[in-house]
A and B are shown apart, each in its own frame.
Chain A
Amino acid sequence: MNITGTLMNYYFHCQRQCYLFGNRLNLETNSEDVKIGKVLHELRSDGKDNAEISIDNIKIDKLTEDYLVEIKKSDADITAVKWQVLLYLYILKEKGIHKKGKIEVIEKKKTDKKIIYVELDEKKEKELIDLIDEIDTLINQDIIPPVIHQPTCKKCAYYEYCYI
């Protein structure tokens, strides 16, 4: 099973969402936020050649001389984004490309910075490999993780499925 950036991200805020997505039960999304996110990516990358690069099973928003850039609409779950970026850095490193990570946040609410930097060091790399294993196990298990009952559930594309 190849772990994608989305799976890594989901793993942090909801294991159930991660499981469903990993098992291709990705529900139809009517979410306005998702649409905004898509447009933001398009706007940011418009007319630039280094926009959205697909390597293996990951999609990178932007690559510059020193940085791998991930663009996010909001900083609602910055830990999840950090690990998503670390996963990308790791996959690039395996291919002999050494970069640092940069997260550009368009709407900041929780952090006071618009740009957040992350770097892949040895300790994080170990943690990351463990995480990949955990996600792999999670997705291949037969039992679907329970609903987490968080206020954020209401905004999730899976809300109707989880709560019905």
Chain B
Amino acid sequence: MGKTKYIFSVGELKRQDNSLCYRKEGTYASPNHIPIEQIRELYLMNEVSINTKLLDYLSRMGIVVHFFNYYGHYSGTFYPKEYLISGKLKINQAIAYTDPRRYQIAKAIVNGIAINMREVLYHYYRHDKKMLKDFLDYCQSVESLLEKQNHIKHILRVEGSLWARFYETFKHFLKEDFIMSKRVKRPPDNPINALISFGNSMLYTKTITMIYHTHLDQSISYLHEPSESRFSLSLDLSEVFKPIIVYKTIFELVNNKKILLAKHFDKKLNYCLLNEQGKQIFIKAFEERLAKTFKHPVLNRNVSLETAIKLDGYKLIKYLMEDKPFEPFQLKV
């Protein structure tokens, strides 16, 4: 499995023979050659010039490219030509959206979020934050709350209240400057919202790449409406990983003072945007977390969290093709 390459500076990326060549703007040093064989995806985090010759080559090599603008907002993905296509699966994927399997999948995802939130916050509970008890209990009740629901709106309502209560708990264990009043998106209006938005976009794009390497159709989703986004299945599958990957990274960076309000946010914009250094710190921690491996209880081999996202894709295929109940990833089994 290949690696992820990030480009943070302004410059030009092109194809040179069978390798990638990057030249940073305003430097006269020799350009940086990036061997293509090791790369699986590219993140362009700034204004990088490219041409179709490069895109054609990246497509041939099956490399997914994610574009973010200068402000750290996700602009879009260059999605190479599909190489794994199964007609039978695609049909099953579409049919499942229209039958009761949709609710099964949606409920499994929402319950999965609750289980993983509980696992993440249990750490603070153990370290004397006893006021988290109510929330931890609530997480455990989500499964029974979902049981009777057979309407997507009701499932989404459970999900909404789960996230709202989760944000509520931040005041108990997060450093003061970062305590949030409420979750605000597009654009985020305070530093913690900025971190969450950036982290969620990063995870979303990671999931797009992982699903690219399965046969799943990115546009057919179950919890989110397929019309929500071109890659709405990524919205679905990334959901249970948010507490483990995005929020754990944020809590670690904030509470260990690795990310500071004064240093890593843009003052001019009311601290609502990460600056370049802030983005780099976040991405470093984010990548380290994704690369962390654990012994997979079923496969009995070491698996990284990143691979676990793809395995959730496989589980979904298995549910659609072979009726094996879909149980999304849990931090601890």
Q: Which residues of A contact B87 (CB under 8 A)?
A: 23-24
Please indicate which of the listed interface residues A23, A24, A164 has the most CB atoms of chain B within 10 Å of its own CB: A164
CA distance A161 to B298 in the complex (A): 11
Nearest CB on B from A155, distance (A): 12
Please state if B318 and A161 are interface contacts (CB–CB under 8 Å).
Answer: yes
Residue B333 interfacial (CB < 8 Å): no
User: Do A164 and B1 contact each other (CB < 8 Å), given the known contacts A25-B89, A26-B84?
Assistant: no
User: Do A164 and B322 contact each other (CB < 8 Å), given the known contacts A23-B88, A28-B84?
Assistant: no
Q: Which residues of B contact A25 (CB under 8 A)?
A: 86, 88-89, 215, 317, 321
Q: Which residues of A contact B317 (CB under 8 A)?
A: 25, 161
Nearest CB on B from A39, distance (A): 13
Q: Which residues of A contact B85 (CB under 8 A)?
A: 24
Residue B179 interfacial (CB < 8 Å): no
CA distance A30 to B2 in the complex (A): 10
Please state if B213 and A28 are interface contacts (CB–CB under 8 Å).
Answer: yes
**Per-residue 0/1 for B1-35: is the Cβ within 8 Å of any A Cβ (1 yes, 0 no)?**
10000000000000000000000000000000000
Residue B299 interfacial (CB < 8 Å): yes
Residue B57 interfacial (CB < 8 Å): no
Please state if B298 and A163 are interface contacts (CB–CB under 8 Å).
Answer: yes
Residue B102 interfacial (CB < 8 Å): no
Give residues 158-176 of B contacting A (CB, 8 Å). Answer: none
CA distance A24 to B311 in the complex (A): 18
Give residues 115-148 of A contacting B (CB, 8 Å). Answer: 144
Please state if B298 and A164 are interface contacts (CB–CB under 8 Å).
Answer: yes
Nearest CB on B from A132, distance (A): 21
Interface size class of A (residues with CB under 8 A): 10 to 19
Residue A67 interfacial (CB < 8 Å): no
Shortest Cβ distance from B215 into A: residue: A25
Interface size class of B (residues with CB under 8 A): 10 to 19
Please state if A161 and B84 are interface contacts (CB–CB under 8 Å).
Answer: no
Q: Which residues of B contact A161 (CB under 8 A)?
A: 314, 317-318
Shortest Cβ distance from A146 into B: residue: B322
**Per-residue 0/1 for B69-96: is the Cβ within 8 Å of any A Cβ (1 yes, 0 no)?**
0000000000000001111110000000
Residue from B213, B214, B311, B321 in contact with A144 in the complex, judged by beta carbons closer than 8 Å: B321
Residue A12 interfacial (CB < 8 Å): no
CA distance A161 to B315 in the complex (A): 8
Please state if A24 and B86 are interface contacts (CB–CB under 8 Å).
Answer: yes
Q: Which residues of A contact B311 (CB under 8 A)?
A: 160, 164
Q: Which residues of A contact B88 (CB under 8 A)?
A: 23-25
CA distance A152 to B188 in the complex (A): 51
Nearest CB on A from B107, distance (A): 20
Nearest CB on A from B216, distance (A): 11
Enumerate 24 A-B pairs (CB-CB under 8 Å) in ascending A order.
A23-B86, A23-B88, A23-B89, A24-B85, A24-B86, A24-B87, A25-B89, A25-B215, A25-B317, A25-B321, A26-B84, A27-B84, A28-B84, A28-B213, A30-B1, A144-B321, A159-B299, A160-B311, A161-B318, A163-B298, A163-B299, A164-B298, A164-B299, A164-B314
